[in-house]
Amino acid sequence: MHKSILKRFGAAVLALFLTACGESVRPQPAPQTSSRPAESQAQEPAEPVTLTVYLEALYTQEGVHYPLYEALKEYDETHPEIELEFVSPVGGASDPAKREEEIHQLNTEIITGGGPDVFIMGTFRYTDSNLFPDVAKAMGNHAFLPLNAYAQAAGFQRDDYIQPALEAGQLEGEQYILPLSVSVPLFVGGKDAVEKSGFDAEAAAANQTAFFDELSRALNESGAQILYTLSLTNLLQQPLIDYAAGQVYLDTEPVRQALETEKAFATSQLNFFDSYDPAQIEAMAAGTPLGAVEMSNGALSILRPFAAQGAEAFVQAVPNEAGGVTAQISSYAMANANTACPEEAAALLYYLMSAECQDAAAYPSATEELPVRVASLGNALKNFHQFIVYDASKETVSEDDIAFRESAFGADLSEDMVLALRDICEKVSAAHFHSIWEHALQLGQSETGDDLLTEAMNEYLYGGKPLDQLIEELTPRLQMYLDE
């Protein structure tokens, strides 16, 4: 039986005869009118239940072939007992008013006991109108289905995955959110140039303060600059807001040190680099700038052109305050606590965690992320690169487009580089869902109409607001938010 995936919110028209998962009615046997025994009468096959899946419209475009959408279509085709219906709000850039209307509708459905059965989320935010801006708080409010009971049936092997990322989606030992991909902070550059600068990688690996002290020394002595785009407080092992402990940790020594370092680097280093420009890549490989300090989803766009030019790259994780690595969870999935189809919803979630999907980079992302299944790293990077350069079927990509993409996106990474990235993933000691500074928490707007937290951080980094004032103003607001 051929099935077509259904979409709503401006995608495909929903067939009226299909009901939502929670409303699906399986046919009952007809009253016995024959003298034949009931067991000998042929039974009509049950109608498939409809599983509604929240996924941003970007990833459900038929002509684009995102790996995630291809994997979900394959799942739909091989499971005749279900129909997948996509709930895909428009992007905020294309129609902010429409998106706000659609998100409001979904929020109303969820609050009143309905809503999509499954949520597949990426951290790329189109507008402030987003479902679950603070996913950790939503988990604490029991918005999601507990998943532990379904893991064994799915054949889920926890040891295959980045453990802190899994733990970030747990509450009191119960798994509610499944992380799909992560990004880690990296220092990348040309190997020869970094070594000539005198940068001591071993000394820099001790902790976050030691890393930036060593980097500052190397930059000062060489007269070089770097590209800097990190949010350091989001990369501490101890989160700024500890939901389990009910504590806000702004006024601590590691946070103060991170904020002071971030201000120094944000205001003295480069914040723009065109990795699509072969001349700029060649210059970075030679040491101008010395390198980039950014999350891996951006750093990979530098490492791949390095590989295409045959330049040997340097790569090192930026450590947290304890000397480990803190990952940012880039995409994740969960089931609605309201779902009437918990087994089907959980099975779909664990399918996304499978080797098949993790190898294929089947998670919502417009940039290159790292899969949470560590052994899938090499295959995922290779397959996503294949997608962004050639498309899954070349239906929408011309030969000229492919030539441009090959020059812009670089080449596959060497096996040694993949192993280096895998080693970094195995050193991840903490993982967080988001930075509090970037539209993740709803503390209200400032007098100028901007997000309060984002504006406060910018006033500290680029204005005259002292660090003590930032901490004193925000700590009680954050504590009140946490206690709500």
Q: Is residue 462 part of a domain?
A: yes
- Does one domain contain both 345 and 467? no
> What pLDDT was estimated at residue 444?
77
> What pLDDT was estimated at residue 450?
76
- Does one domain contain both 479 and 335? no
Range of the domain at 476: 452-483
Q: Distance between CA atoms of 96 and 93, rounded to whole angstroms?
A: 6
The pair of structure tokens assigned to 14 is 């929903």
- Does one domain contain both 15 and 107? yes
> What pLDDT was estimated at residue 452?
87
- Does one domain contain both 13 and 148? yes
> What pLDDT was estimated at residue 42?
55
- pLDDT tens string 195-230: 999 999 999 999 999 999 999 999 999 999 999 999
> What pLDDT was estimated at residue 45?
66
- Does one domain contain both 10 and 139? yes
Does residue 49 have a pLDDT over 60? yes
User: Residue 364 is part of a domain; what is its CATH number?
Assistant: 3.40.190.10
Q: Is residue 350 part of a domain?
A: yes
Q: Is residue 168 part of a domain?
A: yes
> What pLDDT was estimated at residue 43?
62
- Percentage of residues of the chain with pLDDT beyond 90: 76
The pair of structure tokens assigned to 266 is 């944000």
Q: Is residue 109 part of a domain?
A: yes
- Percentage of residues of the chain with pLDDT beyond 70: 91
Which long-range contacts (C-beta less than 8 Å, at least 24 apart) are formed by 471-480? 471/250, 471/251, 471/256, 474/250, 475/248, 475/250, 475/251, 477/443, 477/452, 478/240, 478/241, 478/248, 478/250, 478/436, 478/441, 478/443, 479/248
Q: Which of 83-97, 171-185, 427-441 has the highest mean pLDDT?
A: 171-185
| Residue 34 pLDDT level (bands cut at 50, 70, 90) | very low
| Residue 16 pLDDT level (bands cut at 50, 70, 90) | very low
Among 374, 406, 432, where does a domain finish? 374
| Residue 31 pLDDT level (bands cut at 50, 70, 90) | very low
- Beta strands 241-242 and 247-248, pairing class: antiparallel
Among 348, 374, 400, where does a domain finish? 374
305: cis peptide before it, omega within 30°? no
pTM summary value = 0.90
Q: Is residue 302 part of a domain?
A: no
For residue 117, the one-letter residue type is: D
- pLDDT tens string 317-368: 999 999 999 999 999 999 999 999 999 999 999 999 999 999 999 999 989 9
pLDDT (average), residues 17-32: 37
For residue 211, the one-letter residue type is: F
The pair of structure tokens assigned to 453 is 């937290």
> What pLDDT was estimated at residue 30?
39
The number of distinct structural domains making up the chain is 2
pLDDT (average), residues 389-409: 85
pLDDT (average), residues 107-126: 90
Does residue 446 have a pLDDT over 90? no
> What pLDDT was estimated at residue 4?
60
- Does one domain contain both 57 and 155? yes
- Does one domain contain both 470 and 361? no
91: left (phi over 0), alpha (psi -120 to 50) or beta: beta
- Does one domain contain both 477 and 334? no
pLDDT (average), residues 437-457: 81
- Does one domain contain both 19 and 148? yes
Q: Is residue 118 part of a domain?
A: yes
378: left (phi over 0), alpha (psi -120 to 50) or beta: alpha
Q: Is residue 119 part of a domain?
A: yes
Q: Is residue 135 part of a domain?
A: yes
Q: Distance between CA atoms of 173 and 159, rounded to whole angstroms?
A: 16
- Does one domain contain both 152 and 15? yes
- Does one domain contain both 10 and 126? yes
pLDDT (average), residues 271-280: 93
- Does one domain contain both 59 and 176? yes
Among 344, 374, 404, where does a domain finish? 374
For residue 62, the one-letter residue type is: E
